[in-house]
Structure formats: C-alpha cells, structure tokens
Amino acid sequence: MSTLKVWVHTLRHQAQDIISVELRPMPGETLPAFEAGAHIDLHLPGGLVRSYSLANDSSEHHRYLLGVLKDKTSRGGSRAVHEQLRVGMALTIGAPRNHFPLHEEATHSVLIAGGIGITPILSMARRLQALGRSFEVIYLARSRSAAAFTEDLHALNCAMHWHFDDEAGGPADLHALLQARGGQSDTHFYACGPAVMLDAFEKICAELGHDHAHIERFAAVEIKAATDARSVFTVELRRSGKTFDVTPDTTLHQQLIATKANVPFSCEEGICGSCETRVLEGTPDHRDMVLSSAEHASNQVMMVCVSGCKSERLVLDL
Ligand code: FES
C-alpha cells in the first residue's frame, strides 16, 4: 500500500463535534488523483490508522479535504484528529481508494447523507455538477448545528432536501423520500451515514425495486462466520515464506499481527478495504462490507482483518 507525506493546512470547525481537515502536499509535489466517493487512510499520532472520505472536488490535486466527527464511542481515531492534529503538522496518509464509485452515466442520481456521511456525498455532488448531470442531495441531520459543510452545499446551488430531526419532530421518513424518487428505472441511489440509516436504506430500496442502490459504511455490521467456516486452518504467506495455524482461540487477523505480516490494517472492521489481500489458494469465508458479492464469489481477494476460511489451507500473497 503506497503512502505519502502531507501537511495539515487548515483545521476548521464545521458543525457541532465536526471539524474539517485540509491536507496539502509537501512543497513541489502534487497529490494523487482521486474519484468522488474515495477515502484515504490517515496515520495518526500514537500509531492509529483510520479511514476518512474525501469531501473536496475530485479534480483538485493541491488538497484533500476530510470531515471528522468526534465520535463518543471513538476507539481513539476521531479523538486523535480533534485533539492532537495541529496546523503545519506533517502526516502520513495512504493513497486514495474508492469502494463507493459514482455511476456517472446515470440519468439521475439521488445522494443521501446522514450526519457526517455528507463527506463522500459532497464530493459526488461536486463531480455530478461538473459533469452537468441531473442529481439531488438529501441531507439528514439531528439539527442545523450538527450539519457540516452546509456552506459548500449552498454554494453548489443544486436540488437539496434538508431534514433536521429537532425541527421536524423526529427522524425523516426514508421510505417516503425514496418512494417519491423512483420514477426512472436507471436512477442511482447512494447513501452514507449511520448503520441504522444504511440498513433501512438497503431494505427500503429492495422493497421498492430500486436496483441501483449503493452504500458506504463508517461503522461495521458484524457478519457471523459461515456455517461451513473452519475453526482450524493452516495459512501460508507465500512471499515471506511463513506458515501458521489459526485455531479456535485465535483469528487470522491476530495471527497476521503476531507474525508481523506486511498488511496495512486500518479500520480492522472490514469496512475500509485497506487490508485487501490476494488469495493464491484456498476458500475464504468473507465477512467484510467492502467487496461485492461477485468479488466474494471469485475468491481472488479477501479482507484479512475480519474474514476466515472454509478450506483446510489458505495461501495468501504476503
Ligand atoms: S483493515 Fe479495513 S477492511 Fe480490513
């Protein structure tokens, strides 16, 4: 996984408990291109690595813009961003990756953000507007003061539907919002936000026959081991020549760390794609939220932070 050095150019209050972080390249350098919907890994003080979606215009090469919510259930990542980052500080980041791509050819796109889920949605809106495509943004937040990047959204001057729970007397009726936007069969629907919203979004889209529904998760949903997953299997790391067993009291993830395998773990929850590893032999038991069902079925790559194995032996390209 390629990394690069950047520096913190701007830290800005965006909303209640949300700051934006603008990263710039080192002098004389430019940043790798990215697609709307992409995210980067931020290597934080204390050795933590966390993924954050890019909110800026994907045609920009001079900056990356992130939005970070100070999460009360933080395992340290968002707290480190809020409390330890300083303007001028140098940071290491991973190159952008995208598991939430736009289908730019769609006749119409509906972009739904819940809270801090606005970050990739904003970049997607900027891209669709640059392309002159038909789209609208639905932004759901607890209150106006908790809604980030509102100035940027107003500046886009696009079709917007705002919903603030405190003013409306409760959460939005997602079913009604989605039902009202189902007219064209090739409309694409995108959602990013809290797990409960994304679960509802997927369920409602399936009920309404909205076939082109796409989500990006910030928090993992636990996927249980398959019934035919093995509790004991042997793992060979082909490139480094190491072999170990995974037993009922360990996991593949724990054993990879114990053997100091060269895997750039980030979320460690199967949602960021950082630990994607090529499978040379064997059948993984996929438990991630990143790969598509076709990619799961092909068994050519796996997310080794959460997944297991269905065969006696698993050979990885590590
Ligand atoms: S570390 Fe994020 S998917 Fe594995």
Q: Report CA(54)–ligand 1 centroid distance (Å).
A: 18
Atom of ligand 1 nearest to the CA of 290: 3
Indicate the burial class of 235 (C-beta count within 10 angstroms; 0-12, 13-18, 19 or more).
buried
Assigned token pair, 167: 């003013």
Q: Report CA(234)–ligand 1 centroid distance (Å).
A: 21
CB environment 52-84: b (16+ within 10 A), e (fewer): bbbbbbbebeebbbbbbbebeeeeebbbbbbee
Q: Report CA(294)–ligand 1 centroid distance (Å).
A: 19
The pLDDT of residue 268 is 87
Cα 207 from Cα 141, distance rounded (Å): 24
The pLDDT of residue 295 is 92
CATH class name, domain 108-217: alpha beta
**Substitution site in 99, 266, 277 for ligand 1 pocket (most atoms within 8 Å of beta carbon):** 266
What is the CA 38 to chain-centroid distance, rounded? Answer: 7
- pLDDT 10s digits, 170-224: 999 999 999 999 777 899 999 999 989 999 999 999 999 999 999 998 766 678 8
Provide CATH code, domain 233-316: 3.10.20.30
Provide CATH code, domain 3-94: 2.40.30.10
Cα 28 from Cα 4, distance rounded (Å): 13
| Best CA proximity match to 139, nearest among 180, 190, 105 | 190
Atom of ligand 1 nearest to the CA of 51: 2
Atom of ligand 1 nearest to the CA of 305: 4
> Using CA of residue 299, residue 191, residue 13, residue 26, what is the dihedral sign?
positive
The pLDDT of residue 46 is 80
| Best CA proximity match to 79, nearest among 91, 90, 66, 70 | 70
Cα 158 from Cα 134, distance rounded (Å): 9
Taking the model in full, what pTM does it have? 0.84
- pLDDT 10s digits, 211-257: 999 999 876 667 889 999 999 999 999 999 999 999 999 999 999 99
The domain limits of the chain are 3-94, 108-217, 233-316
